[in-house]
Amino acid sequence: MCDGTPLKVIDPVDTEGMLDIGSVSDSVIFGDCRTVLSRLPDSSVDMVFMDPPYHLQLPKKDLKRWNQNNVVVAVRDEWDSFGSFEEYDRFIEEVLVEVKRVLKEKGALWVISTYHSIHRIGKIMQDLGFWILNDVHWVKTNPMPNWLGVRFTNATETLLWALRDKDAKGYTFHRDRAKEFGIGKVGANVWVIPLCTGEERLKNSEGTRLHSTQKPAELLRRVTLTSTNEGDLILDPFAGTGTTGHVARELGRKFIMIEANPDYIPGMAERFTFGAPGPKDKRIKELEEAMAEGEGEEGDP
């Protein structure tokens, strides 16, 4: 699954001008994706997978779980707070303009979001000339139940798959994979996948989740296998825990990841080195134990 090749971590401040695709391949670039994207060349990427902030607009007070004392850990990270729809729209548009520029002629874009913002994203995509091929619906087998009973339980997230240009012919699509993944015999646009939990979920030093919205690797596998070829270059401007790159490596694709939050970089790098979810992973524990026992016995020269 993972050969242990470490993840290159690139700080673009170390250089000036355009970044060379070859030298930033298979790396994570630290920084605001708008700035980093602007330093990547035109028409150089086969596929972009994008998991932007959702603009959830959650209430300021923590939601109290009904009849329980604990507090639901809601998504209220700083990176997901925008003052208004206008501000959010502007941000998304700036990113998408750059994404369109760096995509190859027959390149494709995947975006994932929820009803809070997917309509804004989809509208902007269409206005910029992206050509939507499908909406794909991720149905979670284990969604967070809606304990207040005031709405339907939101068990889905929406992915949009779009071409850079409307009339692009010969884009990549592996129908056999689509039929394997989509429900029914027709390769429908519905994927049933559990949430990312347990061992797969990266943990921080306190043992709680490292990232609030880590996507399941299976989701990225399906995206990658249906719409890219081996050796293709995949770009993720909102890398988070690095699932996109991790799956890309597993499936023999190249990747460039961009992440603005330094808190995520160590966990992401660890994941590549150990091919494992994170600090709680058995292999890491074993390694730590081995290191503790054999302290001083081994070391890099």
Partner DNA sequence: AAGTTGGTTGAATCCCACA
Partner DNA sequence: TTGTGGGATTCAACCAACT
Which residues contact a second copy by CB under 8 A?
85, 114-116, 118-123, 125-127, 132-137, 139, 141, 143, 145-146, 149-156, 158, 160-161, 173, 175, 178, 182-184, 186-190, 226
Number of residues counted as binding DNA (CB under 7 A) = 68
Q: How far is the CB of 226 from DNA (least distance, A)?
A: 14
Q: Which residues contact 141 (CB under 8 A, 6 or more apart)?
A: 192, 193, 194, 195
Q: What is the C-alpha to C-alpha distance for residues 241 and 238, in angstroms, rounded to an integer?
A: 9
**59 makes contact with DNA (CB under 7 A):** yes
Contact at 8 Å (CB) between 244 and 297? no
Contact at 8 Å (CB) between 220 and 243? yes
Q: Which does 156 bind (CB under 5 to 8 A by kind): DNA, a second copy, none?
A: a second copy
Q: Figure out which of the listed residues 3, 14, 86, 169 binds DNA, where binding follows CB under 7 A.
A: 169
Q: Figure out which of the listed residues 34, 106, 177, 209 binds DNA, where binding follows CB under 7 A.
A: 209
Q: How far is the CB of 210 from a second copy (least distance, A)?
A: 27
Can you tell me whether residue 183 is helix, strand or coil? coil
Binding mask 146-165 for DNA (x = CB under 7 A): xxxxxx--x--x--------
Q: Figure out which of the listed residues 3, 14, 68, 292 binds DNA, where binding follows CB under 7 A.
A: 68
Buried (b) or exposed (e) across 188-199, using 16+ Cβ within 10 A? ebebebebbeee
Beta-bridge partners for 138: 157, 191
Q: What is the C-alpha to C-alpha distance for residues 277 and 284, in angstroms, rounded to an integer?
A: 9
Q: Which does 122 bind (CB under 5 to 8 A by kind): a second copy, DNA, none?
A: a second copy
Between 184 and 296, CB nearer to a second copy: 184
List Cα–Cα distances, 261 to 12, 75, 222, 242, in angstroms: 14, 15, 26, 12
Q: What is the C-alpha to C-alpha distance for residues 54 and 75, in angstroms, rounded to an integer?
A: 9
Helices 85-102 and 118-127: crossing angle, nearest 10°? 50
Binding segment toward DNA, per CB under 7 A, in 18-26, 65-73, 98-106, 229-237: 65-73
Residues of this chain that bind DNA (CB under 7 A): 51-75, 80, 113-117, 126, 131-134, 141-151, 154, 157, 169-170, 175, 184-186, 194-199, 201, 208-209, 212-214, 280
